[in-house]
């Protein structure tokens, strides 16, 4: 099956819990059990779910398919759901209601879905189920957990998609973070200075790719297609890098992206400052970060995704 999707710019797997607001359904499942959940979905089969945290990101992403004459190119979004095929009907009805270009789905009746990421050549799996995401990352897959977010989608420009990334542990691997932590253990008083010197000396040495490197590559492909297109009212895509790095460590991040052949439109090197105000001002439709502390502030008013990768998240297998 992956051969059918190998030419896609992007293939993304999304759980129904990330695409739609399933809070009420989940409450019934937890408090009343499977049978009550099935009855509830059947009774509301024609009632569409409300949009969820990742809905603005996914709905805008799918608009880029208008730029491709070849149906084998562009974006593919596939639902990966723990629902049964029967209860999954409401999910598919909701997709039809919102006229999302999603035609493929996997319903596993309570079983994990991320093992099928390789089958479909996916660059990312999004879910609101933290355990599923943790298991996917532990298996070497690129996955993120969408965090609760109830604000309505402010459609200030329906043709523009804004995506923001952290760098270390997200676009890049976490070797720099590991080095810093080692320096802190060995010489806590001088760790910051040693880290800055190390990054300066290795500025021309690219960091290893992280879990979302492929996602950025696909996004850049969509940006290139938009730049070539003469379609009136074509979609646009803006990419932000928002990282705790500062000078001189910023140079290695910039040159790593350049050596990968990937680009971002804007970069914010904050040197450990709180990211909240910058992100709220940018108002991305989605932001990816490996540090949960950067995403948990009540004053953060954007859809956010935790990437539980690397030593920051207690992993030693990255």
User: Any idea what the CATH number is for the domain that residue 42 is in?
Assistant: 3.40.50
Q: What is the pLDDT of residues 139-175, one digit of tens each?
A: 999 999 999 987 555 455 578 999 999 999 999 999 8
pTM (2 d.p.): 0.93
The two three-digit tokens of residue 310, written as one number: 């690397």
Alpha helices in the chain (DSSP H): 16-19, 23-32, 34-43, 55-62, 88-97, 130-138, 175-186, 191-201, 213-228, 250-260, 276-282
110 and 175 share one domain: no
Helix (H) or strand (E) segment spanning residue 144:
strand 143-146
Q: How many domains does the chain have?
A: 2
Mean pLDDT rounded to a whole number for the chain: 90
List all residues 6 or more positions away from 32 whose beta carbon is below 8 Å from its beta carbon.
none
pLDDT at residue 182 in the model: 85
* CA 124 centroid distance within chain: 7
171 and 133 share one domain: no
| Nearest in space to 21 (alpha carbons), one of 59, 44, 52 | 52
48: containing domain: 2-146
Q: With beta carbons less than 8 A apart as the criterion, state whether 278 and 302 touch.
A: no
Q: Which residues are marked as active site?
A: 166
Q: With beta carbons less than 8 A apart as the criterion, state whether 10 and 76 touch.
A: yes
Q: What is the pLDDT of residues 54-106, one digit of tens each?
A: 999 999 999 999 999 887 889 999 999 988 888 889 999 999 999 999 999 99
pLDDT category of residue 199 using cuts at 50, 70 and 90:
confident
In a domain, 151, yes or no: no
In angstroms, the CA 259 to CA 206 distance is 7
Q: With beta carbons less than 8 A apart as the criterion, state whether 161 and 285 touch.
A: yes
171 and 137 share one domain: no
The total of other beta-carbon atoms located within 10 Å of residue 250's CB is 19
244 and 184 share one domain: yes
In a domain, 242, yes or no: yes
Q: What is the pLDDT of residues 250-279, one digit of tens each?
A: 899 999 999 999 999 999 999 889 999 999
List all residues 6 or more positions away from 253 whose beta carbon is below 8 Å from its beta carbon.
167, 172, 207, 241, 243, 245, 267, 269
In angstroms, the CA 240 to CA 249 distance is 18
In a domain, 318, yes or no: no
């Amino acid at each position: 099956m992956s051969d059918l999707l190998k030419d896609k710019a992007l293939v993304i797997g999304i759980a129904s819990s990330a695409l739609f607001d399933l809070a009420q359904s989940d409450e019934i499942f937890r408090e009343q059990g499977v049978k009550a959940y099935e009855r509830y979905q059947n009774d509301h089969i024609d009632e569409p779910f409300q949009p969820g945290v990742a809905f603005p990101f996914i709905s805008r992403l799918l608009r880029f398919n208008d730029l491709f004459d070849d149906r084998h190119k562009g974006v593919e979004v596939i639902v990966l759901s723990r629902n049964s095929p029967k209860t999954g009907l409401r999910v598919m009805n909701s997709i039809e209601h919102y006229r999302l270009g999603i035609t493929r789905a996997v319903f596993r009746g309570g079983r994990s879905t991320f093992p099928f990421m390789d089958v479909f050549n996916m660059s990312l799996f999004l879910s609101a189920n933290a355990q599923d995401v943790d298991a996917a990352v532990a298996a070497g897959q690129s996955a993120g957990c969408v965090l609760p977010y109830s604000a309505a989608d402010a459609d200030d420009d329906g043709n523009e998609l804004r995506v923001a990334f952290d760098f270390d542990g997200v676009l890049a691997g976490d070797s720099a973070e590991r080095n810093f932590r080692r320096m802190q253990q060995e010489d806590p008083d001088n760790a910051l200075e040693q880290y800055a010197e190390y990054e300066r000396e290795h500025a021309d040495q690219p960091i290893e790719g992280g879990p979302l490197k492929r996602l950025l590559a696909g996004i850049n492909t969509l940006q290139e297609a938009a730049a070539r297109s003469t379609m009136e009212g074509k979609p646009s895509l803006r990419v932000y890098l928002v990282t705790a790095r500062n000078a001189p460590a910023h140079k290695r991040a910039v040159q790593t992206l350049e050596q990968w052949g990937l680009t971002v439109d804007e970069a914010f090197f904050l040197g450990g400052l709180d990211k909240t105000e910058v992100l709220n001002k940018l108002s991305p439709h989605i932001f990816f970060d490996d540090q949960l502390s950067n995403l948990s502030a009540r004053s953060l008013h954007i859809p956010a995704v935790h990437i539980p990768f690397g030593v920051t998240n207690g992993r030693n297998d990255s």
